[in-house]
Structure 1
Amino acid sequence: MSPDLSHIDTWLFDLDNTLYPEESGFMRQVESRMTAFVMKVTGLERDAAFALQKKYLAEHGLTLGGLMRHHGVEPADFHALFHDLSLDALAHDPELLVALARLPGRRLIFTNADDFHAERVLNHLGLTHLFDEVFHIHSFGFAPKPDPLGFLRMIEGHGLDPAATAFFEDSERNLKPAHDLGMTTVLVGPRASASEAPFVHHRTAHLTPFLNHARLRETA
């Protein structure tokens, strides 16, 4: 059945592993550099640094949150790690461009990354012109998804009506606050079909066909 999104006029998208497939492997580059940075900051061996990285992610929503709180890391130093990553793994997808362009209303990015990374990836994918704004980690004052405060700041900052907003994410846990606020939630990626979370309304392995088959509101 076609997903009914005819009540939606605001389209909210996570960036990494959502607007490009997880299978690209791009985020493995990000994760590897992050682990190396944790090793440098803490003096831990790689396995222990990786475990701490994941612990901070679970506890703070971001590895950066733990590094800031417990090690005095400056956000700018952390984000600079990823500003020269090769984007060769990310392929331009003309079909996705068409699918996004048919969505009526506003399209926004909601990412835990910084503005430089988001703009760089969107430009490489050829998607920049399709989005009205990027709500990034600095925009919501380092209250990262899934912190409800970040969602509230995003809603207030853009005057969103949660009941008319669809949120697309590859991270299941990031969809819960969106659901609790009244948004329609869509889990994207290879693990989506296995999700049984009651706060996930729709699940799809691939974003483009889901958007192409969705029922949208009619425009004049």
Structure 2
Amino acid sequence: MRTFRHTRLLAVTGAALTALALTACEDGTGTRDEGASAPAATPTASATAPPSAAQSPSGTAEPAAAEPEKTPAEKPASPAPTKAPGAAAGADDGPVRTVCNGSNTKVTAQPVPRPLNHMLLTVTNTGAKPCNLMYYPVLRFDEMQWVPQARPDTKPQAVPTLAPGESGYAGVLLSAADGSGDGGTTARKLTVAFQGGTPNSDGGPAATPPLPAAGVYYDSSLTVTYWRSSMEDALG
């Protein structure tokens, strides 16, 4: 009886195993290990590649695109150039010249018959460089305490520039022809001062041209012209 039961149990167990084998063969999957864990995902080449380079379809790395060239900041405008002291103020823009004065010129003062009661100042450049005759001469007879004024109508359009050896001129009205001037006197000494690049500025050493032995007579009508390039303009 025990042998029969054992034989029957083996038969049932074998049938169950056969059924499982047939089922696995029919669905084509075979047996599976339910306890095995899924393998970890392997990073792809694109995920591990540096961000600066991309791979081409052939597998070779392509160079990263160049960054656009930056435009440099604009430079500030250079300030405009200025003239050095002694330049021709109010004249057309030209090369800066040395101011004419008593150190680089020879000055003469000579009374003239026409116009009446006039004297001519002549300035000759004795230096090696051109010089500018600025504005008008500042005259002082003896120890006079006032400065003769310049006639506005004699102002030139451009400052006279004297090349070495060239001369410039100024006319001096000594006294009124009709005797209307005041405080007439005879002067024995004359000082001619020169102006710099701005009106009434110091242009350098003055000159003391000799006067005639008899001196020159002047009164309150004393006026001068601006420096001119020709004798005719100075006495006209």
Pair in the same fold by TM > 0.5 = no
Of the two structures, which has the highest relative contact order with CA contacts closer than 8 Å and spacing of 6 or more?
Answer: 1
Which has more helix, going by share of residues?
Answer: 1
**Structure number having the greater strand percentage:** 2
TM-score with structure 2 length normalisation?
Answer: 0.18
TM-score by length of 1: 0.19
